[in-house]
Structure 1
Amino acid sequence: MISLSFGSFGRRNFTVEPLAASDCTHLHHIHTQTFRHPWSEEDFHALIGQDTVFGFVAREEGQPGSAAGFVLARLVLDEAEILTIAVSPDVQRKGVGHALMDAVLRHLHGERARSLFLEVDQANVAAQALYRRLGFVKVGDRPAYYQTEGGRSAALILRRDLGSPA
């Protein structure tokens, strides 16, 4: 079990823990706040129930059962992908996303994964900066993938090599 404590942002401390099915209501709520086409609670339940899917939730200390952000990922053989990551707007740019991605990377290291992929909206500059800091590089794009208020936006496909198993 991974549990990471991090940050002290104006007296706000957070922990990162493995996701549970009981978190689905919170995941849906945060997804609704951060995505134009959010996933339903049922979508989250279905994903969390899959053997290849894992994830982590960030909680503010002293607020059990709450969620400040989360990440869902899938690992098949030695290749992983981020399915979705979202951070509550009130704690964005406070290190929560970085801590969630760090938990995923630690987990994948333990699983001896070789690579991690994700897609990010080309308009999401803050997320792209985080992923660059974490060592991701662009390996492709999907033109007009995301629907936006102004039309459509490309998805950038990013990869981070995690090394080869010994």
Structure 2
Amino acid sequence: MRWWDIEPVLALEQQLFPEDAWSPGMFWSELAHARGPHASRRYLVAVAESGRIVGYGGLAAIDGTGDIQTIATAPDHQGTGLGARLLTELLGAATAFECSQVLLEVRVDNMRAQRLYERFGFEPIGFRRGYYQPGNVDALVMRRVHTSSSETDQGTTIHG
């Protein structure tokens, strides 16, 4: 993800998460930590053959622990394997950052995402009550002891 991707990512973010969408400043802040010799973030966009951004994801790495900050796919690309491909790329970034574990939070009512994370070896370790605001929705905290994996997808390119 680059600065010029922020506007289309924000549009997708607002479509997918209207109540708790990230602000432009949140993305700018994360991207500021994604470049240079002391980079601690990896942000990706998935671009369809048409040039439209259809997914994105981000990972923060601190002291050997990766944290999936965000991952999303456009409604017309859900169920195509794109979420798995983005997750695979983020787990690869965790390997590059030498993370021994990867954490994430997922809405307790998002069973589709939970199933994806479970397929990748994430296990529930706790809850964050009222984490998603303003809806006051709990987050399920999941952890994966990190190993590398790879998957492929046709017709979509993922850029950092």
Task: Report what 1:138 is aligned to.
Answer: 124
What is the TM-score when the length of structure 2 is the normalising length? 0.81
Deviation at 1:87, TM superposition (A): 1.1
Query: Take 1:62 and 1:89, find their aligned partners in 2: how far apart are those partners?
Result: 16
Equivalent residue letter for 1:105: L
Mapped partners of 1:60, 1:47: distance in 2: 23
Q: Does 1:23 align with 2:5?
A: yes
Q: How far apart are residue 153 of structure 1 and its match? A: 2.4
Shift of 1:62: 4.3
Shift of 1:99: 0.5
Give structure 1 stretches of 5+ with no counterpart.
1-18
8 Å contact kept, 1:116–1:161: yes
Q: 2:92 matched to 1:109?
A: no
Q: Is the Cα contact below 8 Å between 1:27 and 1:44 reproduced in 2?
A: no
Query: Which of the numbers 91, 105, 112 marks the counterpart of 2:77?
Result: 91
Q: Write the letter of the residue equivalent to 1:29.
A: A
| 1:58 matched to 2:46 | yes
**Among residues 142, 155, 161, which one is paired with 2:139 in the alignment?**
155
Q: Give 1:67's aligned amino acid.
A: I
1:95-125 Cα shifts (integer Å, max 9, x gaps): 1111000001112223321010000001000
Q: Provide Cα deviations, 1:7-37, integer angstroms capped at 9, x if missing partner.
A: xxxxxxxxxxxx2122111211111011122
1 or 2 for the larger relative contact order (CA 8 Å, sep ≥6)? 2
8 Å CA contact 2:20, 2:132 repeated in 1: no
RMSD of Structure 2 on Structure 1 (CA): 1.6
Partner of 1:42: 25
Contact 1:27 1:41 in 2 (8 A): no
Query: Could you list the per-position Cα deviations for residues 66-92 of structure 1 after superposition, in whole angstroms to 9, with x for gaps in the alignment?
Result: 310000110112111011111111211
Aligned length: 141
- Cα shift at 1:147: 4.0
Which amino acid is the alignment partner of residue 21 of structure 1? W
Higher mean alpha-carbon deviation, 80-89 vs 125-134, is at 80-89
For structure 2, list consecutive stretches of 5 or more residues without a partner in the other structure. Answer: 34-38, 148-160
Tell me the SS of whatever aligns to 2:44: strand
Q: Secondary structure at the match of 2:53?
A: coil
Deviation (angstroms), 1:146: 2.4
Q: How far apart in 2 are the matches of 1:154 and 1:91?
A: 26
